[in-house]
Chain A
Amino acid sequence: MELRQQCSIGKGLLVQFTKDMSQTLEKYFETYASKGVVNMEANHQGLWLINPANGSRQFLGKATLNGQSTIQF
């Protein structure tokens, strides 16, 4: 079953990264981590790191060119 189909039946969410996005995440992981966990948010603009102290978002990147969300159902 394709991942997109799995997502559509509620088996999970697909979040897309490029390599440089994962490198940025690694670089800033400790800055954004709370108890060893980093929270992120996805919307049509891309993926966002969520600052655990105040909820502000910083742009991590956008893996797709087509204008769709990087998170697919």
Chain B
Amino acid sequence: MREVSIVDLPKGVQKWNLVAAFLKLRKEVFINELDWSLYHSDQMEFEQYDSPTTKYIISHDGNYVLGGARLLRTDWVLSKGKVNYTYMIRDAYNGLLPGISPKICKSPPPVDSGVWEMTRFVSREGERVGEEIIKAGIDYLVSIKAKECLFLSSPAFMRVGRRMGYKAKPLGPIIGNRDGRFLAFSCEL
């Protein structure tokens, strides 16, 4: 039976196989099918925003993963080191993400414990699974009293959100690179 799970560490360690399958699905879709120039290893696509603190929204039927997305809280700093990664939209705005223009946002993206970012959305079973992932993610954020969710995705994804009844507003213009057209937008929860 299909269900959507929110998986994080350490309490979600028993379900971490779902995250590994989600990373493999990302590799299949983003690299094999869409030809995005992303790093991968062992058939998994992962990057600095996949850290021990990241939460994942995963649609699955048993151990078979149909889709998912990634959640980051905007006030988290990811393991710092001397490179202070935060979250994709903010790092792009600050010029830390090659390939995504700093013009992605018109004003500085927020740093707020009530604001989250959802990225790396992928689904292999069409729009219905996609909507279930979005809804599960939003429901989870509402349950923890978050107030806003930011998205970095294709313009079509924002239209899906609006069709589902969420009040989505763009944070900047649609930008393009070799991988396609992208948009940062926000939904109040």
A interface residues with partner B (beta carbon < 8 Å): 17-18, 20-21, 24, 27-28, 30-31, 41, 43, 45-49, 51, 53-65, 70
Against A, the Cβ 8 Å flags (1 = close, 0 = not) of B69-88 are: 00000000011111101000
Q: Shortest beta-carbon distance, A48 to chain B, in Å? A: 8
- Roughly how many angstroms separate A56 CA and B41 CA in the complex, as a whole number? 9
| Contacting pair B47 A45 (CB below 8 A) | yes
CA A31 – CA B52 in complex, angstroms? 9
Residue B142 is within 8 A (CB to CB) of chain A in the complex: no
- Contact status B81-A54, CB under 8 Å: no
Bound-complex Cα distance A18 to B82 (A): 7
> Which residues on B are within 8 Å of A, measured CB to CB?
9-10, 13, 16-17, 19-20, 23, 39, 41-42, 44, 46-52, 54, 78-83, 85
Say yes or no: B83 contacts A57, CB within 8 Å. no
Q: Is the interface of A mostly helix, strand, loop or mixed?
A: mixed
Q: What are 29 A-B residue pairs whose CB atoms fall within 8 Å in the complex?
A: A20-B79, A21-B80, A27-B52, A28-B52, A31-B13, A31-B52, A41-B41, A43-B39, A45-B47, A45-B48, A51-B16, A53-B16, A55-B42, A56-B20, A56-B23, A57-B46, A57-B50, A58-B52, A59-B78, A59-B85, A60-B52, A61-B80, A61-B83, A62-B48, A62-B82, A62-B83, A63-B82, A64-B81, A70-B81
